[in-house]
Amino acid sequence: MTAQIINGKEIAKKKRSEIAKEVDELKKNHVIPGLAVILVGNNQASRTYVKSKQKACQELGMHSLLIEYPETVQESELLSKIDELNHDDAIHGILVQLPLPDHINEVKVIEAISPAKDVDGFHPINIGRMMTGQDAFLPCTPYGVMVMLEEMNIEIAGKHVVIIGRSNIVGKPSGQLFLNENATVTYCHSKTKNLEEHTKNADILVAAVGRANFITADYIKEGAVVIDVGINRNEEGKLCGDVDFEEAKEIASYITPVPGGVGPMTITMLMYNTLKAAKNFQSKLQKTK
């Protein structure tokens, strides 16, 4: 079997054009969706991610505000900036680029963001809402995965989904979103024994490990859907996923490539969440009129 490639770039393009249309509609009502990004320090990867987020905002006609701090910034200064942004009507989404330096408490910073502007979907209120199946800002990468599957008409209900990875931003919320769609979910992690025995049972396998080409053909059931969240560099310094794409594509029914798979969906869903926050703001405005 040669797998059908799930083209994240194409799906992201389609979603972004839908978002751009909605942004235009909102602008007619004098609301320009605004995203504030806080960047601390000089981490090159963080800087690149932030640039892509700003570029996406510009392309979709959204307002983007970058606030930069040196590595030495005090936690109190960040918290007071977040408080100011929480009260700024031109800003509908606030994102603090992670990781933060060690002297800053990440949890405290995330919890300072108003849940109504938490477009990353990391605030415990949004996580709680997601877990109880209520309307919430969903974390962008797992949300992007779900949108890709929906676009490909891949059924989820009743499927056995195995997630490798249990981080708060990818693994755990991915499992929850699949559960919300009536899948049976297994989580694997670094303490899982006989990983292969679990992954071989997956109808849908999600790899969010952070290890280049870690998932080889031996881990995959014939006909499985393989979602590769990993972004790594191989020995030659080339971008690659957690899945050995060349091997896996001969076994899977569908597979996401790296690059061009999950990656483009993450920023797209951030834009979607920012639009949603702006729409919520606008409907609140209308109610108070």
Please report, in range form, the residues annotated as the binding site for NADP(+). 165-167, 231
Per-residue interface string for the shown chain with ligand NDP, residues 197-216, x marking contact by CB under 6 A? -----------xxxx-----
CB-wise, 73 or 243, nearer to ligand NDP?
243
Cα–Cα distance measured from residue 75 to residue 125, given in angstroms and rounded to the nearest whole number: 22
195: contact with ligand NDP by CB under 6 A = yes
Binding to ligand NDP by residue 162, rule CB under 6 A? no
Should residue 148 be labelled a site residue for ligand NDP when binding is judged by CB under 6 A? no
Distances (CA, A) of 140 to 27, 43, 49, 120: 24, 21, 13, 6
**Residue of 134, 140, 99, 96 whose CA lies nearest to 114:** 96
| Beta-bridge mates of residue 232 | 240
Q: Which of 15, 53, 159, 221 is catalytic?
A: 53
4 annotated active-site: no
**3-class DSSP state for residue 122?**
coil
Q: Considering the complex, state which of residue 82 and residue 164 has its C-beta at the smaller distance from ligand NDP.
A: 164
Residue 157 per-residue DSSP state: T
Angstrom distance (rounded) from CA 27 to CA 58: 14
169 part of the interface to ligand NDP, by CB under 6 A: yes
DSSP 211: -
Considering 15, 81, 117, 120, which one is annotated as catalytic? 120
Q: Residue 97 catalytic?
A: yes
Could you tell me how many residues of this chain bind ligand NDP (CB under 6 A)?
Answer: 25
* Residue 276: active-site member: no
Return d(Cα 32, Cα 14) in angstroms, integer.
Answer: 21
82 is an interface residue for ligand NDP by CB under 6 A: no
Residue listed under structure tokens 């992670």: 98
Residue ranges in contact with ligand NDP by CB under 6 A: 141, 164-167, 169-171, 188-192, 195, 208-211, 229-232, 262-263, 266
